């Protein structure tokens, strides 16, 4: 189905044309007509499937410029919050629609001023509750309530916050829910708060035939980083994402990669907002070759041209593993998912392998140059602790 076949404001069609989109993705084709018809919708689609436009376009088409705040979108992370807001801004600018982000880690005062002038608020649950408690946001005219990355929001423990927020939103509204998976807790929320809803599921974007999954069983812990450097320098064609388990490990790995002249940038929940935005901006402008990230920070971000995903730390579940490797082998391209396995990772890796749908083969150990990994960092290079 082509975008020109959907009945929306001509200005939106011009914006779509400007961005070069012609055909709707599967989730867009299923959801947009039903949202335009006023139905509550649950859409299951992975990152990069076009789900943001699936709810942004029909919502923008229905905004009334003089009715104040009409749309509330909840997201689990600040990065996704900003990403969704930017889509609303880009497509809604010619319509005169104003959208803003509400998230923690920054001053609340500018947000208080901008809420009054906005038609759309995209928010993380914690900071939104701050505004509710302060009475700095009014939901009287809310006509659309959207949950994005619902499964992740509930995984992160936001269930009580979400229920509290729903309590403040008018019942006479259209509710949309998008999620990478629809486990029982997500379905329960949908059944409780959505009316006569439709569920749409799309096939995975990742082509299993084009995804090469392999692992290296590393005998010496100290060789793990050296092998990563070797693979990044010799086997990685486009952008790579290196997943680490903790914020601290993410920072340390990034600093060490830079010492090896690898253009890397970190992103995790412990960074200041400016630093996180800087990493995302560098990524968007293709100024980096390697993004080192925690699962939480990377979830929901639409990152294109990823040829390799490296599990520097093995995820705890097969579900987390699948989310990670889904970053590559998209849109007909080949991709590699590489797991670096040391003794401390074996227990997690056994959990991952318990999913018999996964085909992860052991790779032959290559010859590589041993490089020094500095574990601690105090701000000056000679204060690193070697490992």
Lowest model confidence (mean pLDDT) among 58-62, 80-84, 321-325: 321-325
Res 280: pLDDT: 75
In sequence order, which ranges of the chain are alpha helices (DSSP H)? Answer: 10-18, 26-36, 51-62, 78-92, 109-115, 125-134, 150-155, 159-168, 184-193, 223-234, 247-259, 273-284, 295-298, 318-325, 346-353
Res 377: pLDDT: 54
How does pLDDT run across 271-305, given as a tens digit for each residue? Answer: 877 787 788 778 777 788 999 999 865 666 767 78
How does pLDDT run across 187-234, given as a tens digit for each residue? Answer: 999 999 999 999 998 876 556 678 899 999 998 888 999 999 999 999
Cα–Cα separations (whole angstroms), residue 206 to 189, 307, 312, 324, 386: 28, 12, 21, 11, 39
Res 380: pLDDT: 43
Lowest model confidence (mean pLDDT) among 8-12, 120-124, 318-322: 318-322
Mean pLDDT of 169-174: 97
Q: Please state the φ and ψ torsions of residue 255, each to the nearest 5 degrees.
A: -60, -40
52 and 91 Cβ atoms separated by less than 8 Å: no
Closest CA to 92 of 102, 80, 100, 82: 100
DSSP string, 156-184: TT-HHHHHHHHHHS-SSSEEEEEES---H
- What the chain holds in terms of domains, given with CATH numbers, is 3-201 (3.40.50.300), 208-386 (3.40.50.300)
Closest CA to 54 of 80, 34, 28, 26: 28
How does pLDDT run across 118-130, given as a tens digit for each residue? Answer: 999 999 999 999 9
Mean pLDDT, rounded, of the chain: 89
How does pLDDT run across 322-337, given as a tens digit for each residue? Answer: 888 887 866 667 889 9
Res 298: pLDDT: 61
190 and 197 Cβ atoms separated by less than 8 Å: yes
Query: How deeply is 358 buried, as exposed, middle or buried, from its count of CB atoms within 10 A (0-12, 13-18, 19+)?
Result: middle
Among left, alpha and beta (phi > 0; psi -120 to 50; other), residue 245 is alpha
Is the pLDDT at 378 greater than 70? The verdict is no
How does pLDDT run across 130-139, given as a tens digit for each residue? Answer: 999 999 999 9
For residue 361 the two structure tokens come to: 């083969």
Percent of the chain with pLDDT over 70: 92
73 and 84 Cβ atoms separated by less than 8 Å: yes
The 3 state secondary structure assigned to 264-306 is EEEECCCCCHHHHHHHHHHHHCCCCCEEEECHHHHCCCCCCCE
DSSP string, 292-348: EE-HHHHTT-----EEEEEESS--SSHHHHHHHHTTSS-TT--EEEEEEE-GGGHHH
Mean pLDDT of 100-125: 96
Is the pLDDT at 351 greater than 60? The verdict is yes
Mean pLDDT of 36-60: 91
Q: Please state the φ and ψ torsions of residue 87, each to the nearest 5 degrees.
A: -65, -45
Does residue 329 or residue 372 have the better pLDDT? 372
Place of tokens 């609340």: 108
CA distance 74 to 146: 6
CA distance 20 to 94: 17
Res 382: pLDDT: 41
Does residue 72 or residue 331 have the better pLDDT? 72
How many C-beta atoms lie closer than 10 Å to residue 210's C-beta?
15
Res 269: pLDDT: 79
CA distance 103 to 4: 35
Mean pLDDT of 244-266: 94
Is the pLDDT at 28 greater than 50? The verdict is yes
Res 162: pLDDT: 96
Res 332: pLDDT: 67
Cα dihedral 271→384→339→294 (10° resolution): -10
CA distance 119 to 175: 16
Predicted model pTM: 0.74
Confidence band of 379 (pLDDT split at 50, 70, 90): very low
Confidence band of 319 (pLDDT split at 50, 70, 90): confident
Which residues are CB-contacts of 16 (< 8 A; sequence separation ≥ 6)? 3, 57, 91
């Amino acid at each position: 189905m082509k975008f020109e076949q959907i009945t929306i404001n001509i200005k939106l069609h011009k914006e779509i044309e400007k961005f070069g989109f012609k055909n709707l993705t599967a989730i867009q084709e299923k959801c947009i007509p039903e949202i335009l018809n006023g139905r509550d919708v649950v859409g299951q689609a992975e990152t990069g499937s076009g789900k943001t436009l699936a709810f942004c376009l029909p919502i923008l088409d229905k905004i009334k410029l003089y009715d104040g705040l009409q749309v509330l979108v909840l997201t689990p992370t600040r990065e996704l919050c900003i990403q969704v807001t930017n889509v609303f801004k880009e497509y809604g600018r010619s319509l005169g629609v104003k959208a803003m982000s509400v998230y923690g880690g920054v001053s609340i005062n500018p947000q208080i001023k901008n809420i009054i002038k906005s038609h759309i608020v995209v928010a993380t649950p914690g900071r939104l509750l701050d505004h509710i408690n302060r009475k700095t946001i009014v939901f009287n005219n809310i006509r659309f309530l959207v949950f994005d990355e619902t499964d992740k929001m509930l995984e992160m423990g936001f269930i009580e916050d979400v229920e509290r927020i729903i309590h403040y939103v008018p019942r006479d509204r259209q509710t949309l829910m998008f999620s990478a998976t629809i486990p029982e807790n997500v379905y329960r929320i949908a059944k409780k708060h959505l009316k006569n809803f439709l569920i749409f599921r799309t096939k995975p974007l990742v082509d299993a035939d084009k995804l090469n999954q392999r692992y290296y069983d590393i005998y010496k812990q100290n060789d793990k980083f050296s092998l990563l450097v070797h693979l990044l320098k010799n086997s990685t064609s486009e952008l790579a994402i290196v997943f680490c388990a903790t914020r601290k490990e993410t920072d340390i790995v990034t600093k060490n990669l830079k010492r090896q002249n690898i253009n890397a940038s970190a992103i995790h929940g412990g960074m200041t907002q400016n630093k996180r935005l800087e990493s995302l901006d560098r990524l968007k402008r293709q100024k980096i070759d390697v993004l080192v990230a925690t699962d939480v920070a990377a979830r929901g971000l639409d990152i294109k041209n990823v040829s390799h995903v490296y599990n520097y730390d093995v995820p705890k579940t097969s579900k987390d593993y699948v989310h990670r490797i889904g970053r590559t082998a998209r849109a007909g391209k080949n991709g590699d998912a590489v797991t670096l396995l040391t003794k401390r990772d074996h227990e997690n890796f056994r959990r991952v392998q318990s999913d018999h749908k996964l085909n992860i083969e052991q790779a032959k150990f290559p010859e590589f140059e041993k490089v020094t990994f500095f574990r601690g960092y105090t701000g000056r290079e000679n204060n690193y602790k070697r490992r």
